[in-house]
Amino acid sequence: MKARTISYVALFTALTAIGAFIKIPIPYIPFTLQILAVYLAGALLGPRLGMLSQLCYVLIGLIGVPVFAEGGGFGYIFKPTFGYLLGYILGAYVNGWLINRFSLATIRSIFFANAATLLTVYLFGCIWLYGAMKWIVETPLSISQTILYGFLLPVPGDLMLCILCAVIIQQVRPRIARYINVKELNHPWAKPTL
């Protein structure tokens, strides 16, 4: 992997960490700006590198660096919100894959790719939330409570970020595609660098 590619991955790892500290507390699931970095990583780096940036973020947090919304360390896997972090990894892949595979270039089509990413993150998050509350915290939530606290309450803000990121991606991706020279960026916007 080239140094420039490593720098891009590290940049989006750092952006995800920064997003963790911009948060609005709501019951059970704090609203953060991390999902912005997930959308952007998948769309701008492609599926594999976008996923790698999020995997690095999660691993850095698990080894003890306090980059998560509530700290860090291996014990974080027992927190009810850890599933959302796992969702970031697959979510970045889904975003990049959809945008590249279907050559998405309009704000509307990119929004749908972002929405698919959001659903991926929330699917992992809600499953983990339900299990953690039942077996780890031992304060079980019903399925309807899990959907309320794990999806319905935090999702409106994330949908707004979904729209915002669609606009950003549509404007930025064509301008930077020629600088991110990786094999997986086979989108028509990507032009080879010399």
**Ordered per-residue pLDDT tens for the chain, 194 residues:** 688 889 999 999 999 999 999 988 776 677 899 999 999 999 999 999 999 999 999 999 999 999 998 899 999 999 999 999 999 999 999 999 999 999 999 999 999 999 999 999 999 999 999 999 999 998 999 999 999 999 998 899 999 999 999 999 999 998 887 777 544 444 444 443 33
Closest by Cα among 31, 32, 28, 39 to 18: 32
Distance CA 118, CA 88 (A): 9
With CA atoms as reference, report the closest residue to 133 among 14, 28, 8: 28
The per-residue pLDDT for 24 is 81
Whole-number Å distance between alpha carbons of 147 and 126 = 7
DSSP assignment of 3-30 equals HHHHHHHHHHHHHHHHHHTSEE--SSS-
pTM of the model: 0.90
Tell me which DSSP letter residue 194 carries: -
